[in-house]
Amino acid sequence: MQQSQLILGLSNRKKLTQIEKISRPTLSHKFKLFFDHPISPEKLWLILPPKISSNQDDWVYGTDGKFLHRDGVFLLHRDVTHGENLYWSFWRSESYLAFATDLKQLTELIISTNGSFPTGAISDWKGAIVTAVAMYFGAILHQRCLTHVDRMIKRLLPENSPISATRNLRQIAIRLISINDMEG
């Protein structure tokens, strides 16, 4: 089995099921050992240290949570610039305590490897995240995630609204989030 491809991010579950000619439940069963006893972020830093620990390039921190229904939330902390996961944890909710605890651990890992702190942050702008980022990374630029902005636009400004102003505002908002330079 090509488990290393999934672990290293060179493949995904769907591709592995096709390569190995097995079903997704069988693949999940083969990976159950890893899910029952996941490797900790601290151990992974020892085995595969992230790029931020070996160079002093500027990088941007990103975070989000994946809700797992009644099981709580999986929090992921990333180096968006280099596309690396830096830290993860499981909590009951996306609370300040959860983010503060994770960022305390993450900053300790960064300091212990002589890594550099981020020059910016990207998140969904929940108050707990904004506060924890400011507490542990200082007054860095903090941008709202454009995927979350896009999702909010589509939810609050319906495409088929009977009000023409709403439809026009939706089009303006969608164009605004696709701007990627000063020329627009």
- 137-149 b/e (C-beta count within 10 Å ≥ 16 → b): beeeebeebeeeb
Whether 173 is covered by a domain: the verdict is: yes
Whether 184 is covered by a domain: the verdict is: no
Helix (H) or strand (E) holding 167, with range, is helix 164-177
68 shares a domain with 100: yes
Whether 183 is covered by a domain: the verdict is: no
- Give the model confidence (pLDDT) of 143-171 as tens digits: 998 888 888 888 889 989 999 999 999 88
57 shares a domain with 22: no
Whether 60 is covered by a domain: the verdict is: yes
Residues 144, 68: Cα–Cα separation, whole Å: 23
State the residue range of the domain holding 171. 147-177
162 shares a domain with 106: no
Residues 131, 103: Cα–Cα separation, whole Å: 11
Please tell me whether the overall predicted TM-score, pTM, comes out greater than 0.85 for this model. no
- Give the model confidence (pLDDT) of 82-140 as tens digits: 889 999 999 999 999 999 999 999 999 999 988 889 999 999 999 999 999 999 999 99
Count the domains in the chain.
3
